[in-house]
Structure 1
Amino acid sequence: MSVRVRRVYDPPEAEDGTRVLVDRLWPRGLAKDAARVDEWPKAVTPSTELRRWYHAGEGSYEQFAERYEAELDADEAAEVLDHVRELVREGDVTLLTASKTPERSHASVLARLLEG
C-alpha cells in the first residue's frame, strides 16, 4: 500500500487508488465530478489559524509541521486520522491538495505520518 501526494487539479490516474482531499476548503474553479474525490475528511486538515499563520510567512515549514502534528493529536482529528490509516491499509491512497507546492504543505506531513 502506498500514499501519494498530488495536486487536486491534476487529472486522476489509474494508480491513485482512493482519492482523499485533505484541504479544508473546496479548491477554486474545480467541479466536484471532475475532481473524483472519494473522501474529504476535514477533521485532518490544518486549522484556519494554523493555515493563515503559515501562509503569512510567520514560521518555517518545520514549525508548521510540528504544530500541524500537534493538531492531529486532538480527539476528533485522531479518530478521523485512524480512518485514513485504515484506507491506507486497504490499498493505495492519494492525498489531494490545491497547494502549489504539495511537498511543502500539510499533505506531505500527513503522508509521512500515514506511511510511518
Structure 2
Amino acid sequence: MAFDIAVKRVYEPPAASDGQRVLVDRVWPRGMTKEKAALTLWLRDIAPSDALRKWFDHKPERWDEFQARYHEELSGRQEPLSELASLLEHGRVTLLYGAHEERFNNAVALADYLRKQA
C-alpha cells in the first residue's frame, strides 16, 4: 500500500489539499500560533533526538548520514509511527517542519522512511 504523504513548511498557509497536518518537529516553530498551524497532531516524539538534530545542523554534506541515523532511531519509535500510520490509512498526511531548509530536514527524511516501509 502506498501512502499519500506530503511535506510542507509549517509557515506556509494551510490548504484543503494538505489533508491531515502533522508537525514532526521536537520544538514548536518560532512565532507560529496554534491557529495558524492548523494542526491535526503534533508528534514531537517522532522527531530526531536532540543530539542528532544538533549534529546534523541542516548541513547538506551530512544528509546521507543523518538519514541513516534518523531511520535507525525511528525503528525504535513504534508508538508515534503507529499514530502516523493510522492517520495515513484515512488519506493524505502532510508532514510539517519549521526549518528554513526545504530539501534537507527531518520531515523529508521521515517521509522517505515511511515510503520505504509501505
TM-score (norm 1): 0.90
Indicate the RMSD between aligned Cα atoms, in angstroms.
1.5
More helix by share: 1
Q: Which residue of 2 aligns with 1:36?
A: 38
For residues 61-83 of structure 1, give each alpha carbon's deviation from its aligned partner in whole angstroms, at most 9, with x where no partner exists. 00000000111112xx2221122
Deviation at 1:92, TM superposition (A): 0.5
Deviation at 1:109, TM superposition (A): 1.1
What amino acid sits opposite 2:105 in the alignment? S
- In structure 1, C-alpha distance between the alignment counterparts of 2:82 and 2:50, rounded to whole Å: 22
- In structure 2, C-alpha distance between the alignment counterparts of 1:24 and 1:102, rounded to whole Å: 17
Deviation at 1:27, TM superposition (A): 0.3
Contact between 1:6 and 1:96, CA under 8 Å: does it hold in 2? yes
Contact between 1:16 and 1:94, CA under 8 Å: does it hold in 2? yes
Out of 8, 11, 19, the position equivalent to 1:9 is 11
Q: Which residue of 1 aligns with 2:63?
A: 61
- In structure 1, C-alpha distance between the alignment counterparts of 2:62 and 2:36, rounded to whole Å: 33
Q: Which residue of 2 aligns with 1:81?
A: 81
For residues 22-76 of structure 1, give each alpha carbon's deviation from its aligned partner in whole angstroms, at most 9, with x where no partner exists. 000000011111110110111110010000001185x6100000000111112xx
**1:103 and 2:103 aligned:** yes
For residues 7-35 of structure 1, give each alpha carbon's deviation from its aligned partner in whole angstroms, at most 9, with x where no partner exists. 00000001000000000000001111111
- In structure 2, C-alpha distance between the alignment counterparts of 1:93 and 1:42, rounded to whole Å: 16
Q: Percent identity?
A: 39
What amino acid sits opposite 1:98 in the alignment? G
More displaced 10-residue stretch of structure 1: 106-115 or 61-70: 106-115
Contact between 2:7 and 2:107, CA under 8 Å: does it hold in 1? yes
Q: Which residue of 1 aligns with 2:73?
A: 71
Q: How many residues align?
A: 113
- In structure 1, C-alpha distance between the alignment counterparts of 2:115 and 2:92, rounded to whole Å: 11
Which residues of structure 2 form unaligned runs of 5+? none
Contact between 1:46 and 1:106, CA under 8 Å: does it hold in 2? yes
